Structure formats: C-alpha cells, structure tokens
Amino acid sequence: MRILASNDDGIHARGMRILVGCLTALGDVFIVAPDRQRSATGLSITMHRPLRVKKVKIPGFKVTGWAVDGTPADCIKLAIEDLLEGPPDLVVSGINLGPNLGNDILYSGTVSAAIEGAINGFPALAVSLASYSSEDYSGASIFLKNFLPVLAKGGLRPGTLLNINVPATERPCGVKITRLGSRRYVNIFEKRVDPRGRLYYWLAGEPVEPEDGAVETDVEAVKNNYISITPLQLDLTDYKAFDWLKHLTEAEKLL
C-alpha cells in the first residue's frame, strides 16, 4: 500500500510524526507537507509564483519527506503529479492540532488536503485532535492503528472522504459516525491599537455551544468525548433548492 501523508501544521509538526508512526505498519509512507504552519488556508492553491520542494528527513523514520513552500492542496497536487512513484492508495492528512468540526471544515487546511486527494479520486482521511491546549495524541494514535486496517479490509472506495476528530485523551468514550454540525463564534475579532496608534484586528473568537437538539453531529460527539467520523462528499448542490428553482423558473420569461 502506498500512503501519502500531509499536515497543514507543517512537515515538522508533532502530529505529522505521530501520524507517520500510525501508518508505517500499513505500507510505504510518503510525506509531502508544507514547510511551515499553513493552517486555515482552505483549498487555496499557489498560481502566481513557483513552488520549491526540499527533501527532508523525519527524525526516527525511514520514510521519504518533501517540504513544499506552498499550501496543503499544493502538496497533494504535487505529490500525485510528480513526487510519488505511482498513485497513492490512500491520502491521510493530520494529525492536526485543533478540531475541524462543522462548517469550519471549509476553512481547514487539514480537511482540504484530504479533499484534494478525493478530488483526484483517491480515498482520503483528515484526522484532527479536538484540542488546542492538550497535546495528548495517545487516543488518536491507538484509534488510527486499529481503524486503518479495518478500513483497508473494508475496501477503500475511490473518493471516500472521512473527517475524523479525536478527543485529546487516552481513552475516548467510543466512536460515533456523525454528520456535520454547525459552529458559530462570538467575539470574532479583537480590535487593538498598535504602538504607532493605528487600529488593527486579530481574528480569534470562541465557539458558541451548539443549539440543543442537534444530534448525531460531529460537534456533539466530540463535546461528549467521543471520536467523530463524518463521511463527506464534495457535491455542495442543494437538491431541495434545485427542485424549487426549477419549478419557480420553468414558466417564467427570463430573457
């Protein structure tokens, strides 16, 4: 099995090394990741300057690593097109430090690296540690080592895209298959004055507790200390609105 691994926290992130440790028993691992922290870059790609690639050693591992001065999506594209010796059987992004839940996945570099894999027709996983403060990857590591062979045995279909969030604890309460919840933030921007008297804004914000009744969501699962696995699809079409718009416009003269 040929596995492509990436991490939007950068190739030297601890979560990257922990992920590689979970993958090596499964097959040949190739790391292609940004050379620095590139979180919250979404599915952004680099078009207006060249990309530089540097071969790097990951301490403690024999795997091949390339550091790219681009985004997570750039890394996956480059890996598939040129760096790997053949198409990957699986793309894994993570383990990200910080949750990727609900609509936040649209900003996420971690999830976007997996999306880029799925766009190219490969099975892909995004794995995140649902904490910024604790760096306890033990539960995530145990889970991945058990889950990946199960997934491989079950037959990974092209384009399968899973978003996984693991509580930062050695013993999560269990595993839940979830749908995307919604995440809203309060106090989104901090407004400050710099030493030269000029105003600046800094994006921060705290998530608002999910509304009651939102069951089976990723947000709810992680809040209750469960591992959340959300199967994603790339089709953003609103099919209800599709029918409604068709019906609405059918008999109208619009041109």
Residues that bind Mn ion (CB under 5 A): 8-9, 39, 96
Taking the complex as a whole, the smallest distance from the CB of residue 15 to Mn ion amounts, in Å, to: 8
Q: Which is nearer to Mn ion, 8 or 35 (CB)?
A: 8
CB of 84 to Mn ion, least distance (A): 23
Token look-up 């040949």 returns 28
Q: How far is the CB of 231 from Mn ion (least distance, A)?
A: 21
Question: Which two structure tokens, joined as six digits, stand for 126?
Answer: 């995004």
Residue 156 or 222: the one with the smaller Cβ distance to Mn ion is 222
Q: To which residue do tokens 């469960």 refer?
A: 226
Host H or E run for residue 56:
strand 53-56
**Cα–Cα distance for residue pair 164/232, rounded to 1 Å:** 10
Question: Residue 144's closest CA among 172, 116, 121?
Answer: 172
Cβ-contact 176, 229 below 8 angstroms: yes
Residue 63, judged by CB atoms within 10 A of its CB (0-12, 13-18, 19+), counts as: middle
- Choice between 96 and 163, CB closer to Mn ion: 96
Least separation in angstroms between CB 128 and Mn ion: 8
CB-wise, 137 or 156, nearer to Mn ion?
137
